[in-house]
């Protein structure tokens, strides 16, 4: 998808691991219902404990740390007198993590956002990053 967006503008996509989907560990490929059936109590623990990693994947805090690192790198390309446009092609959970980082969402709000909130597959997320403040539009 990134190539389809970049090619008409003469750009070459850069692969960035910070844009990978959240690491689900043992839950990879499973629905929430599957996780709840096969790993009793783990989904609920992940939803309430910001540092939960017993499933072998990322915690909520780790997902936000990755989003924060990505935003920091993107912000470095702009200066007060120079705006920069960046297109990020990524997964739903990563977009929700970026929104959570910019807006200060709680883990519960992040869960709602990534499970049928205003972000869905194919969404366009517009980030306006500046030294003074950040703004996000979906």
Per-residue pLDDT of 68-95, as tens digits, reads: 888 888 777 766 777 667 777 887 778 8
Greater pLDDT, 88 or 59? 59
**Inter-CA distances, 38 with 32, 52, 136, Å:** 10, 17, 36
Give the closest residue to 126 by CA, choosing from 106, 104, 101, 98. 98
Q: Determine contact, residues 106/76, Cβ cutoff 8 Å.
A: no
Q: Is the pTM of this model over 0.85?
A: no
Strand partners, 135: 128
Q: Is residue 22 within 8 Å of residue 57, measured between CB atoms?
A: yes
Residue 138 pLDDT greater than 60, yes or no: no
């Amino acid at each position: 998808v990134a190539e389809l967006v970049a090619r008409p503008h003469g750009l070459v996509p850069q692969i960035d691991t910070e844009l990978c989907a959240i690491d689900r560990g043992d839950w990879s490929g499973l629905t929430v219902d599957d996780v709840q059936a096969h790993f009793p109590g783990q989904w609920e623990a992940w939803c309430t404990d910001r540092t939960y990693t017993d499933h072998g994947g990322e915690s909520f805090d780790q997902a936000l740390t990755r989003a924060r690192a990505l935003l920091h790198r993107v912000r470095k390309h702009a200066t007060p007198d120079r705006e920069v446009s960046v297109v990020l092609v990524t997964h739903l959970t990563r977009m929700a993590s970026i929104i959570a980082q910019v807006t200060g969402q709680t883990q519960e709000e992040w869960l709602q956002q990534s499970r049928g909130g205003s972000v869905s597959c194919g969404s366009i997320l517009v980030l306006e990053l500046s030294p003074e403040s950040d703004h996000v539009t979906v």
